[in-house]
């Protein structure tokens, strides 16, 4: 085969991507060279990024060179591609995807670890993405969001020059360029917390449709799983383009043989986004199902019961208030401390302190522990992480997905050969401890007890959310479930209670406010 010509934009990131494909081709015996092409998106510096992404501003000139035969293939950031390709061109291969998460880079004097995302109150955050803005304001409504343009190094320099307190960037671009971020405080916003743009982190290799020999060659660097996942995301994007220019995030990944898909959509960058999560065995018809949930006229619950109090500015409350859904929030249990003074023995030679609940965090820090600076913190999920922040600490390990057994297995690897303190409820199931390796030393510390309330009033809510096995026991001691009522269980241990009762339930991906909002939005009332 003749020497191939790869068309690319001239930014640092575009050149990295093109050279990455050049190296991939060299590894399979194909020689290539780069041709730099300036696109309209590189010339237009006064438009917000969301006006450019996915509309061909970064791809049109490369596509014209392809069609005219002046280059053989073009390398694109897949999220920049329009959902409809020009006649005569195809995406021939999609390499394996880079991490699609977001990075929040914060000037160190603007950090406040007691706040969610470690941003000080009212911080100015730079981003030109409507998608990022809507989701960020949902998490922290008091933040000030300002436009930010330029390539990755330019945006970072603007933060360095203190034009902003923080900026949001795609982790993929930073990883690919190998940029040193040590001068900033860096927060990784997981894909389940801030949903990425469709196809974020993926590359697309575009060729002429009739170039069969090149197509066959490129299959050697094609990653079918990535291609299948981003196909769903881009189909959701395509189906939403019927007149609505809304901030949209969609992310699909395959996990343990199942596909997990998150979607976030808001009317504008100023509006609170709706969230939806699916876990399904096959992708057939999934994009259509997702879009129908957002666009079809359907009946949402008018009232939701949850077995804990919900604060006025809580994410979950604001997500439901958007749809005029009333919340009946009340805890069905009471907790009491059983340790009033902490013996220093428990804090000696610790490597980790692991919290399995918000209550564990709260009662532990009421004991005013004096901790070594080398101690690291692990938490079962984002709810416990938020509580830990209130006490001035950032978690070094955060469980994901709500499956306590899976969280425990992963933490067991992290904590191998180390000493871990577990402040816990007296009646804890010790789920975490069961999975630790024999070489890990466990320091057990029961610090509070749980007492079930009596004579709990039943609720008329269409959806009932239970936050713990104790709350399930308390409610169903005297109440029955109506046939029309639907149940959401936070965490697998709560779900097991319903398994014992023979009651069907929904298990959110994450046992926190975002996961609950996703679960409620996915319910259609009968």
Residue of 80, 165, 403, 512 marked active site? 80
Phi and psi based region of residue 164 (left: phi greater than 0; alpha: psi -120 to 50; beta: remaining): beta
| Residue from 31, 33, 156 nearest 106 by CA | 156
Cα atoms found within 13 Å of the Cα of residue 118, Cβ hemisphere only:
23
Cα atoms found within 13 Å of the Cα of residue 168, Cβ hemisphere only:
32
- Take residue 265 and report the two structure tokens written for it: 């959509």
Q: What is the DSSP letter of 111?
A: B
Q: CA 408, 425, 336 angle in degrees (round to 5)?
A: 155
Handedness of CA 453, 454, 458, 464 (dihedral sign): positive
Contacts of 178 (CB under 8 A, 6+ apart): none
Is residue 229 within 8 Å of 97, Cβ to Cβ?
yes
Interatomic CA distance for residues 203 and 95, integer angstroms: 6
Tell me whether residue 80 is one of the annotated catalytic residues. yes
| Residue from 524, 522, 525, 512 nearest 192 by CA | 512
Which residues are annotated as catalytic? 80
């Amino acid at each position: 085969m003749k020497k191939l010509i790869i068309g690319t934009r001239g930014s640092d990131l575009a050149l990295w991507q093109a050279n990455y494909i050049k190296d991939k081709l060299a590894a399979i015996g194909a020689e290539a060279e780069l041709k730099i092409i300036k696109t309209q998106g590189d010339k237009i510096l006064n438009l917000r990024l969301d006006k450019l992404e996915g509309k061909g501003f970064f791809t049109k000139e490369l596509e014209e060179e392809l069609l005219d035969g002046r280059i053989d293939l073009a390398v694109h950031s897949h999220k920049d591609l329009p959902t409809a390709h020009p006649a005569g061109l195809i995406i021939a291969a999609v390499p394996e995807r880079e991490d699609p998460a977001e990075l929040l880079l914060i000037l160190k004097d603007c950090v406040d670890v007691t706040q969610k995302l470690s941003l000080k109150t009212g911080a100015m955050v730079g981003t030109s993405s409507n998608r990022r803005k809507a989701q960020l304001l949902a998490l922290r409504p008091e933040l000030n969001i300002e436009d930010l343009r330029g390539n990755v190094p330019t945006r970072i320099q603007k933060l360095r020059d203190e034009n902003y307190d923080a900026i949001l960037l795609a982790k993929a671009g930073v990883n690919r360029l190998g940029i040193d971020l040590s001068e900033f405080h860096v927060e990784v916003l997981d894909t389940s917390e801030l949903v990425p743009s469709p196809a974020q982190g993926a590359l697309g290799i575009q060729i002429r449709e009739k170039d069969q020999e090149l197509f066959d060659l490129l299959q050697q660097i094609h990653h079918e799983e990535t291609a299948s996942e981003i196909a769903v995301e881009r189909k959701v994007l395509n189906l939403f383009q019927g007149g609505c220019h809304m901030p949209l995030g969609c992310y699909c990944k395959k996990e343990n043989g199942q596909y997990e898909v998150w979607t976030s959509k808001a009317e504008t960058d100023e509006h609170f986004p709706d969230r939806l999560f699916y876990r399904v065995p096959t992708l057939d018809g999934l994009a259509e199902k997702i879009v129908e949930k957002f666009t079809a006229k359907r009946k949402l619950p008018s009232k939701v019961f949850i077995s804990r109090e919900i604060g006025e500015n809580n994410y979950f409350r604001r997500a439901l208030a958007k749809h005029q859904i009333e919340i009946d929030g009340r805890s069905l249990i009471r907790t009491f401390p059983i340790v009033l003074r902490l013996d220093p023995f428990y804090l000696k030679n610790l490597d980790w302190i692991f919290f399995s609940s918000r209550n564990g965090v709260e009662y532990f820090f009421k004991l005013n522990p004096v901790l070594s600076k080398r101690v690291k913190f692990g938490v079962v999920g984002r709810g416990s992480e938020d509580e830990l922040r209130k006490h001035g600490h950032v978690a070094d390990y955060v469980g994901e997905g709500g499956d306590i057994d899976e969280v425990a297995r992963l933490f067991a690897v992290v904590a191998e050969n180390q000493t871990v303190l577990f402040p816990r409820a007296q009646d804890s199931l010790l789920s975490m401890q069961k999975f630790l390796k024999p070489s890990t030393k466990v320091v057990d510390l029961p610090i509070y007890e749980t007492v079930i309330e009596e004579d709990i009033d039943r609720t008329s809510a269409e959806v009932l959310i239970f936050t713990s096995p104790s709350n399930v026991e308390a409610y169903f001691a005297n109440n029955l479930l109506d046939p029309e009522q639907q149940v959401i269980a936070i965490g697998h241990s709560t779900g097991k209670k319903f398994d014992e009762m023979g009651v069907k339930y929904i298990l959110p991906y994450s046992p926190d406010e975002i996961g609950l909002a996703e679960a409620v939005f996915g319910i259609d009332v009968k």
